[in-house]
Amino acid sequence: MADTERRTVPVIDPRTGAKDFDLAVADAAEVQAVADRLRRNQPAWGAMSIEARCAVLGRWAALIDGKYRQPIIDADARDTGGGQISHIAPDMMLGILRGLMAGAPAMLAAAKREGTARSNPAIAYRSVIKPYPLVGVIAPWNAPTMLSMLHAIPPLFAGCAVLVKPSEVTPRHADPIRASIAEVPELAAIFDYVVGDGETGQALVQVADYISFTGSVPNGRKVAEACARRLIPNDMELGGKDPLIVLGSADLDDAVSAALRGAVTSTGQVCFSIERIYVDAAVHDEFVARLVDRAKKIALNHPDPTQGQVGPFISRRQAEIVDSHIDDAVAHGAKIVEGGKSFSLDGGLYMRPTVLTGVTNDMRIMREETFGPVMPVMAFKDADEAVALANDTDFGLSAAVMGGSEEEAAAVAERVDAGNVSVQDAFLTFHAAQAESDSFGASGTPRRAGLARYFRRQALLINSGKPTCLTTEMLAAAE
Half-sphere exposure of 462 (CA within 13 A, CB side): 11
386 and 257 co-located in one domain: yes
Rounded CA separation 179/200 (Å): 21
Give me the pLDDT at residue 477, please.
Answer: 54
pLDDT tier, 475 (very low <50, low <70, confident <90, very high otherwise): low
**Are 316 and 450 in the same domain?**
no
332 and 448 share one domain: no
| 317 belongs to a structural domain | yes
| Predicted confidence (pLDDT) per residue in 407-441, tens digit | 999 999 999 999 999 999 999 976 665 566 778 88
Concerning whether 183 is annotated as a catalytic residue, the answer is no
Q: For residues 177 and 414, give the distance between their C-alpha atoms in angstroms, rounded to a whole number.
A: 39
Domain span holding position 132: 3-238+444-460
Domain membership flag for residue 118: yes
**pLDDT score of 429:** 79
| Residues 225 and 289 reside in one and the same domain | no
Smallest CA-to-CA distance from 148 within 172, 171, 166, 169 is with 166
pLDDT at residue 442 in the model: 82
Tell me whether residue 408 is one of the annotated catalytic residues: no
Q: How confident is the model at residue 227 (pLDDT cuts 50, 70, 90)?
A: very high
What's the confidence (pLDDT) of residue 84?
80
470, part of any domain = no
Do the domain assignments include residue 471? Answer: no
pLDDT at 401 over 90: yes
CATH code of residue 331? 3.40.309.10
Lateral strand order in the sheet of 191-193: 191-193, 161-165, 134-138, 210-214, 234-237
**Phi (first) and psi of residue 267, to 5 degrees:** 60, 30
Cα–Cα distance for residue pair 367/393, rounded to 1 Å: 6
Element (H, E) at 55: helix 50-65
Q: Which residues contact 443 (CB under 8 A, 6 or more apart)?
A: 237, 238, 239, 240, 395, 396, 397, 418, 419
Side-chain half-sphere exposure of 131, counting CA atoms within 13 A: 25
Q: What is the pTM of this model?
A: 0.93
Q: Per the omega criterion (within 30 degrees of 0), is the bond before 303 cis?
A: yes
Both 335 and 428 in one domain: the answer is yes
Residue 40 clears pLDDT 80, i.e. is over it: yes
Among residues 261, 479, 477, 245, the alpha carbon closest in space to that of 384 is found at: 245
Among the listed ranges 101-105, 303-307, 399-403, which one has the minimum average pLDDT value? 303-307
| Position 87 in a domain | yes
The mean pLDDT of the chain is: 94
DSSP string, 351-385: ---EEEES--TTSHHHHS---SSEEEEEEESSHHH
Domain count, the chain: 2
Catalytic residue among 168, 186, 237, 369: 237
476 located within any domain: no
pLDDT for 1 equals 43
115 bridge partner residues: 125
As a whole number of angstroms, the distance between CA 16 and CA 305 comes to 12
Specify whether 113 is located in the same domain as 165.
yes
CA nearest neighbour of 437 among 447, 428, 451: 447
Using only C-alpha atoms, what is the Rg of the chain? 25
Confidence of residue 2 (pLDDT cuts 50, 70, 90): very low
The pairing of strands 274-280 and 242-246 is parallel
Q: Which pLDDT tens digit goes with each residue over 349-389?
A: 999 999 999 999 999 999 999 999 999 999 999 999 999 99
Tell whether 248 and 379 lie within a shared domain.
Answer: yes
pLDDT tens, position by position, 341-352:
999 999 999 999
**Buried b / exposed e along 87-121 (16+ C-beta atoms within 10 A):** ebbbebbbbbbeebbeebbebbeebeeeeeeeeee
- Nearest to 176, CA basis, from 332, 309, 246, 71: 71
What is the percentage of the chain residues whose pLDDT exceeds 70? 95
At 399, phi and psi to the nearest 5? Answer: -160, 180
Task: Say if residue 346 is in the same domain as residue 448.
Answer: no
**Considering only CA atoms, which of 113, 114, 125 is closest in space to residue 463?**
125
Catalytic residue, chosen from 54, 271, 368, 369, is 271
Q: Is the pLDDT of residue 448 over 80?
A: no
Strands 242-246 and 398-402: parallel
pLDDT at residue 25 greater than cutoff 70: yes
Are 185 and 334 members of one domain?
A: no
How many angstroms separate the Cα of 151 from the Cα of each of 36, 137, 156?
A: 21, 7, 10
User: Does 267 score more than 90 pLDDT?
Assistant: yes
* Distance between CA atoms of residues 307 and 273, nearest Å: 21
Question: Is residue 312, in this structure, part of any structural domain at all?
Answer: yes
**Residue 364, amino acid:** R
The dihedral through the CA atoms of 465, 469, 470, 475 has a sign that is negative
pLDDT band at residue 254, thresholds of 50, 70 and 90?
very high
Mean predicted confidence (pLDDT) in 278-300: 98
- The CATH number of the domain holding residue 186 is 3.40.605.10
pLDDT recorded at residue 443: 85
Same domain flag for 279 and 195 = no
Helix residue ranges, H only, 272-426:
284-295, 316-331, 364-367, 383-391, 406-413
Distance CA 242, CA 262 (A): 9
pLDDT at 479 over 80: no
Tally the residues of the chain: 479
> Are both 31 and 113 inside the same structural domain?
yes
Rounded Cα–Cα distance for residues 142 and 361 (Å): 26
48 and 73 share one domain:
yes
Contacts of 364 (CB under 8 A, 6+ apart): 324, 325, 328, 329
Residue 153 inside a domain? The answer is yes
* Rounded distance between C-alpha atoms, residue 189 and residue 373, angstroms: 41
